[in-house]
Chains A and B, each alone.
Chain A
Amino acid sequence: MKNLRLLLPLIWLTFFVASCNDDTSGPSDIPVGEFEKGVLIMNEGAFGVNDGEVYHYDPSTGVIKEDIFRTKNSRPFGGLIEDMVEAEGRMYLVANTGKVEIVNPKDFSLLGGISLGLNITRSLVSVNQKLFISDWGPYDAGFNNLNSYVAVVNDLNGGPIAKKIAVSSRPEGMIVAGNFIYVACTAAKKYDVISIASETVAASIAVEGNPTRFLEIEGRLFLYAQDDNNAIFHEINPGNYALVRTVKIPLANPTPIVTLGEGSELFIVTSTGFPDYTDAVAKVSVNTGQVINGSFYTGSGLYGIGFKIEGKEIYVAENNGFQGKGSVSILSATGQKVKTLSVGKGPSGFIFK
């Protein structure tokens, strides 16, 4: 008690001194984490080497920090990074080699992970303090994935899988809207709807094209799909998961690589594929259903794209044949190359903060 009596005045004194500080800028009192600002660059890594890594780029200084996961945690990520999702104050690094690592987005220090029971993991959403993870499931003899699922983990910091919800083949992107989790199932050409309340599939709806991800465009929910000649946007009523309408934009060889620009404009990577291999970035408008510019940017090995609202810059990731490091071309709003960054192997996505 004697110690407490001595301590209390000291605590009061501390508060008093602190309250006298004339710096009233508020939130800046809390130190900004190392990676809370800038651009996080997801580098998928090369197959068979599993050297996925995350880079941080500070546009204001031009400084690039390499492999920030390894730097902070003193070990490699050790997987192919398929997706990078920030939610609930955590950063989820989803590896398609069957694991999720969970880090603090401020400094990338490890918080937890999921390493058992996953197969070919694709993406993740969180709702009601739970994680829902889309996974292709194992390959069968014909390299099909007929046992795809969404795994449920009852802890935001990972741990064991509580249950697996069987979904249509090859689930990719997901989104939480209303009372449902929407799952784009690319091989099945469907979107599955999971009821959050019952954690069961409420509906499975066939769509045109190969659906890959959901986009919120001007407050409306769209499912992006593509076939050989069209970029297809299916608008969904999030209240009852009904397909409202389909916008087909005639565009040759669209890929699943897409990012939302201003308004209803999107940037889509197109690729003629083998053998006449030409990649490009096309700019389209969902509202008009038209291609604004089919060759906004051309290159080879285009592997990811992002739109930085501040400055209206387009970040185009190029894999350089997975032979070594990839690169990122930063384009102006008019498509002019402003800068090129050397990044990790197989760069494929961005988070702008």
Chain B
Amino acid sequence: MVFLVVFMFQAILNQEVKPVMESKVVNETEKTHQDTVALSPVEVFSPPLDKYTFGSTIQNISESDLAIFQGLPLSDFLQQRTGLFLRQYGSGMLSALTMRGTSAGHNAVFWNGLPINSPSLGQSDFSIFPVGGFDNASIHFGSGGALYGTDAIGGAVHLTNKLKFGEGHQVRIGSVFGSFGRWNQQVEYSFSDKKFSARTRIYRNFSENDFLFRNITKMGTPIERQSHARLEQTGAMQDLAWSINPKNLISTSVWWNETNREIQPLMGSNTIDFQSDRNLRWVLDYFHFGKNKVWNLKSGLVRDDQLFNNSFNQTIQYFLAGDLDWEISNKWNSKSGLRITEIQGNLSTYQAKESRVELYQSTNFRPSERLGFSVNLRQLVFEGNLAPFTPSVGGEWKVWRNESHQIHFTSNLARSFKVPTLNDRFWVPGGNPELQSEKSWSAESGINYLFKKENFELSQKITVYRMKVDNWIIWLPKGNVWSPENIREVHNSGLEYGLEANQKAGEWDLHMKVNYAMTRAINQTDISENDRSKGNQLPYTPLHKFQSIIMVGKGTFSTFLNYQLVGERFSGTDGSGRLDPYQLWDLGGNCNWSIRNLNGSLGFQINNLFNTDYQVMPLRAMPGRNFQLNLNVRI
């Protein structure tokens, strides 16, 4: 089932220009080393994530997009500024991303190329990824199992650090002050010359989170102040890169992040839970640049400690990977690799060890300037068990191009999988060691239209997809014990639309972005004779999500108005437990300033402008109108 797809201009760039840009960066790096006079900033090489993704949709989120969210959870950005929907269990609480109607564990998350989903939970909590803990984010929509491995059924998210050579000394200070005791503080020092780059960043993010809300579970539905929802996050990052010579580069990053939270109780509930998450991530890359070849040896560590009340759970993942990215000719590119993962789980009810080995092969073929194809293959083996073999094939066709217009067609067919989590298999009681991997087939097509004339640019993309996910694991009660089973089959289909327009008019800049996602995720299975789930939308999956932002700027000033609409959701698999749709508006302004050697920006924004009373998840109170002041200083 292959459909028409369209790409946005950005997506085209991802497919076409980026690989070129990356090789250009390598060349510039080499040139910099040879030329002692020039010292212009050059990005430290990192493997392009989107090189073998012809036919896929990728959205890049830059440092400037993230700037006003400094210290806030990445989940806030994704919820407010994209067409993605996250299941947000309260303000600043657990936030699980769902992509294309799949579940929270059906997307892979990477930090500098290391998969960081918890192997015991099988997912990531996006509320504890603070903006500032990484530089850029990329979102791969749709199945990416062949490219990324386990979990990437609905999509993948990549968080990356971007170091530069040749910038000298820099100090950056970022502060955010806001309602409900919000105070985020970040300090960064970096130094780089043409061969060496180092950066240290520390941060602390705090919120009393004592917003007002209407308690609909109490007589008279009184307005109450949220209690027991305080958040405190501290962290540090260290990045180093050393260009040994034009042919050899070493880079490493360490990220320590600690989040201590009072868990916001449901309305009308008096639970007093505490959760502490400590995450250590370390990656070491060695690159060797040969003629038309880039060798990469990667190792890393991801350690997640979670203390929930008195229950302690720890997982440690060790990674060793190597690959060869080879430009065989102008038409052919190939990447072959191997990744070994050793997992240790010290959970509150069990201990487990697991070894995973995966082989992958990616190939790009460009028979002409107008055509490009990617073929990806991956086979993962865990503890002697073969995960589903995952191939994918995608293509892009530049149908038409003249001075003002461009039209591209894209299409992709992919298989993906998810290895059952450690908890799925080993949790005591209830774990089911017999579980099979979840598996999916996905097809998508799109069309991308770009128009450019004088000072006006417009890009639009529309993507349609269909997906079938089988062996979907759900936990069901067996008396007093809950146990997982490969029981569900889900057929997903949907449409994603994106629009971006820019107009320059004298000193004025006008910018508009629109994202819309229509997501159908239809359950195909009943678990019992009386179950009425078949044919219904999966729980907490809005059929519609719309988001748009309009920005107007003049000189150093800019303002924005952001809008999001989230459609109705259901808490039950049979369409029961309806949650109302909601609409939110945010308004803000920003001013860039410069005083002698200092420069920076000052921003102010009002979130939830109309004080809308809403719930993302049932009975999880969310804040009303709130204010935020951002101050960034660069020395």
A322 at the interface (CB under 8 A from B): yes
Check A49 against B479 for contact (C-beta < 8 Å). Answer: no
For A326, the chain B residues whose CB sits under 8 A away are 530
Check A325 against B479 for contact (C-beta < 8 Å). Answer: no
Q: Assess A273 versus B618: contact at CB under 8 Å? Given A75-B217, A78-B268, A321-B531.
A: no
Check B478 against A324 for contact (C-beta < 8 Å). Answer: no
The stretch of A112-120, A187-195, A220-228, A306-314 in contact with B is: A112-120
For A50, the chain B residues whose CB sits under 8 A away are 217, 266, 268-269, 618-619
Taking a contact as CB atoms closer than 8 A, the residue among A76, A118, A345 that contacts B217 in the complex is: A76
Q: Assess A345 versus B268: contact at CB under 8 Å? Given A277-B478, A300-B528.
A: no
Q: In chain A, what residue has the closest Cβ to B221? A: A75
Check A318 against B479 for contact (C-beta < 8 Å). Answer: no
Check B477 against A319 for contact (C-beta < 8 Å). Answer: yes
Check B478 against A274 for contact (C-beta < 8 Å). Answer: yes
For A99, the chain B residues whose CB sits under 8 A away are 217, 268
Which 6 residue pairs of A and B lie closest in terms of their CB atoms, listed nearest first?
Answer: A78-B217, A324-B574, A324-B572, A273-B479, A274-B481, A327-B530
List B463-482 residues whose CB lies under 8 Å from chain A. 474, 476-481
Q: Report Cα–Cα, A273/B479, bound state, in Å.
A: 5
B200 at the interface (CB under 8 A from A): no
Check A325 against B221 for contact (C-beta < 8 Å). Answer: no
Chain B's nearest CB lies how many Å from the CB of A122? 15
A209 at the interface (CB under 8 A from B): no
Q: Assess A321 versus B477: contact at CB under 8 Å? Given A76-B217, A110-B219, A342-B532.
A: yes
Q: Mark A85-98, 1 if CB is under 8 A from B, else 0.
A: 00000000001011
Chain A's nearest CB lies how many Å from the CB of B205? 26
List B508-531 residues whose CB lies under 8 Å from chain A. 527-528, 530-531
Chain A's nearest CB lies how many Å from the CB of B581? 17
List A306-353 residues whose CB lies under 8 Å from chain B. 318-327, 329, 340, 342, 344-345
Question: Among A75, A326, A329, which residue has the most Cβ atoms of chain B within 10 A?
Answer: A75
Q: Report Cα–Cα, A49/B576, bound state, in Å.
A: 12
Q: In chain A, what residue has the closest Cβ to B272? A: A138
Q: In chain B, what residue has the closest Cβ to A329? A: B530
Q: Assess A320 versus B268: contact at CB under 8 Å? Given A273-B481, A274-B430, A345-B572.
A: no
For A118, the chain B residues whose CB sits under 8 A away are 270
For B528, the chain A residues whose CB sits under 8 A away are 300-301, 318, 320-321
Chain A's nearest CB lies how many Å from the CB of B211? 18
A51 at the interface (CB under 8 A from B): yes
Q: Report Cα–Cα, A166/B527, bound state, in Å.
A: 43
For A345, the chain B residues whose CB sits under 8 A away are 572, 576-577
For B571, the chain A residues whose CB sits under 8 A away are 46, 49, 51
Q: Report Cα–Cα, A216/B193, bound state, in Å.
A: 87
For the residues of B in contact with A, the DSSP-based class is loop
List B254-273 residues whose CB lies under 8 Å from chain A. 266-271
Check A273 against B268 for contact (C-beta < 8 Å). Answer: no
Q: Report Cα–Cα, A118/B576, bound state, in Å.
A: 29
List B270-299 residues whose CB lies under 8 Å from chain A. 270-271
A304 at the interface (CB under 8 A from B): no
Chain A's nearest CB lies how many Å from the CB of B481? 4
B575 at the interface (CB under 8 A from A): yes
A79 at the interface (CB under 8 A from B): yes
Q: Report Cα–Cα, A342/B577, bound state, in Å.
A: 14
Give the A interface residue count (CB, 8 A).
Answer: 48
B533 at the interface (CB under 8 A from A): yes
Q: Assess A113 versus B572: contact at CB under 8 Å? Given A98-B269, A273-B481, A323-B533.
A: no
Question: Among B266, B267, B480, B528, which residue has the most Cβ atoms of chain A within 10 A?
Answer: B528
Q: Report Cα–Cα, A76/B219, bound state, in Å.
A: 10
B402 at the interface (CB under 8 A from A): no
Check A97 against B270 for contact (C-beta < 8 Å). Answer: yes
B181 at the interface (CB under 8 A from A): no
Taking a contact as CB atoms closer than 8 A, the residue among B218, B269, B429, B527 that contacts A321 in the complex is: B527
Q: Report Cα–Cα, A321/B576, bound state, in Å.
A: 14
Cβ contacts A to B, 11 pairs, < 8 Å: A78-B217, A78-B266, A95-B268, A97-B270, A110-B219, A141-B310, A320-B527, A320-B528, A323-B531, A324-B577, A342-B530
B440 at the interface (CB under 8 A from A): no
Check A325 against B572 for contact (C-beta < 8 Å). Answer: yes
Q: Mark A26-38, 1 if CB is under 8 A from B, else 0.
A: 0000000000000
A275 at the interface (CB under 8 A from B): yes
Q: Mark B312-348, 1 if CB is under 8 A from A, else 0.
A: 0000000000000000000000000000000000000
Q: Report Cα–Cα, A166/B497, bound state, in Å.
A: 61
A272 at the interface (CB under 8 A from B): yes
Check B576 against A325 for contact (C-beta < 8 Å). Answer: yes
Q: Assess A275 versus B270: contact at CB under 8 Å? Given A78-B216, A325-B574.
A: no
Q: Assess A272 versus B310: contact at CB under 8 Å? Given A77-B217, A98-B269, A324-B572.
A: no
Q: In chain A, what residue has the closest Cβ to B488? A: A323
Check B221 against A324 for contact (C-beta < 8 Å). Answer: no
Q: Assess A76 versus B576: contact at CB under 8 Å? Given A273-B478, A319-B477.
A: no
Q: Report Cα–Cα, A277/B618, bound state, in Å.
A: 30
Q: Report Cα–Cα, A275/B483, bound state, in Å.
A: 8
For the residues of A in contact with B, the DSSP-based class is loop
Q: In chain B, what residue has the closest Cβ to A321? A: B476
A271 at the interface (CB under 8 A from B): yes
Q: Report Cα–Cα, A304/B35, bound state, in Å.
A: 81
Known: A342-B532, A344-B576. 7 other contacts (CB 8 A): A142-B310, A301-B528, A323-B573, A324-B532, A324-B533, A324-B536, A327-B530
Q: Report Cα–Cα, A275/B484, bound state, in Å.
A: 11
Check B532 against A78 for contact (C-beta < 8 Å). Answer: no
Check B270 against A323 for contact (C-beta < 8 Å). Answer: no
Chain A's nearest CB lies how many Å from the CB of B153? 20
Q: Report Cα–Cα, A142/B572, bound state, in Å.
A: 32
Chain A's nearest CB lies how many Å from the CB of B533? 6
Q: Mark B214-232, 1 if CB is under 8 A from A, else 0.
A: 0011110100000000000
Chain B's nearest CB lies how many Å from the CB of A159? 11
For B483, the chain A residues whose CB sits under 8 A away are 274-275
Chain B's nearest CB lies how many Å from the CB of A100? 11
Q: Report Cα–Cα, A321/B271, bound state, in Å.
A: 24
Taking a contact as CB atoms closer than 8 A, the residue among A46, A78, A318, A329 that contacts B267 in the complex is: A78
List A233-283 residues whose CB lies under 8 Å from chain B. 255, 271-275, 277, 279
Q: Assess A97 versus B575: contact at CB under 8 Å? Given A271-B479, A323-B531.
A: no
Check A76 against B527 for contact (C-beta < 8 Å). Answer: no
Taking a contact as CB atoms closer than 8 A, the residue among A274, A320, A327, A340 that contacts B479 in the complex is: A274
For B218, the chain A residues whose CB sits under 8 A away are 78, 113, 115
Q: Assess A274 versus B429: contact at CB under 8 Å? Given A46-B571, A76-B216, A76-B217.
A: yes
Taking a contact as CB atoms closer than 8 A, the residue among A51, A77, A97, A342 that contacts B269 in the complex is: A97
Check B219 against A113 for contact (C-beta < 8 Å). Answer: yes
For A301, the chain B residues whose CB sits under 8 A away are 477, 528
For A77, the chain B residues whose CB sits under 8 A away are 217
Check B219 against A112 for contact (C-beta < 8 Å). Answer: yes
Q: In chain B, what residue has the closest Cβ to A303? A: B477
Chain A's nearest CB lies how many Å from the CB of B90? 12
Q: In chain B, what residue has the closest Cβ to A99? A: B268
For B270, the chain A residues whose CB sits under 8 A away are 97-98, 118-119
Q: In chain B, what residue has the closest Cβ to A95? A: B268
Q: Assess A320 versus B269: contact at CB under 8 Å? Given A78-B216, A273-B478.
A: no
List A158-188 residues whose CB lies under 8 Å from chain B. none
Check B573 against A324 for contact (C-beta < 8 Å). Answer: yes
Q: Report Cα–Cα, A58/B303, bound state, in Å.
A: 57
For B619, the chain A residues whose CB sits under 8 A away are 49-50, 76, 78
Q: In chain B, what residue has the closest Cβ to A327? A: B530
For A98, the chain B residues whose CB sits under 8 A away are 269-270
Chain B's nearest CB lies how many Å from the CB of A54? 15
Q: In chain A, what residue has the closest Cβ to B617? A: A49
Check B576 against A324 for contact (C-beta < 8 Å). Answer: yes
Chain B's nearest CB lies how many Å from the CB of A268? 14
Q: In chain A, what residue has the closest Cβ to B432? A: A275
Check B479 against A51 for contact (C-beta < 8 Å). Answer: no
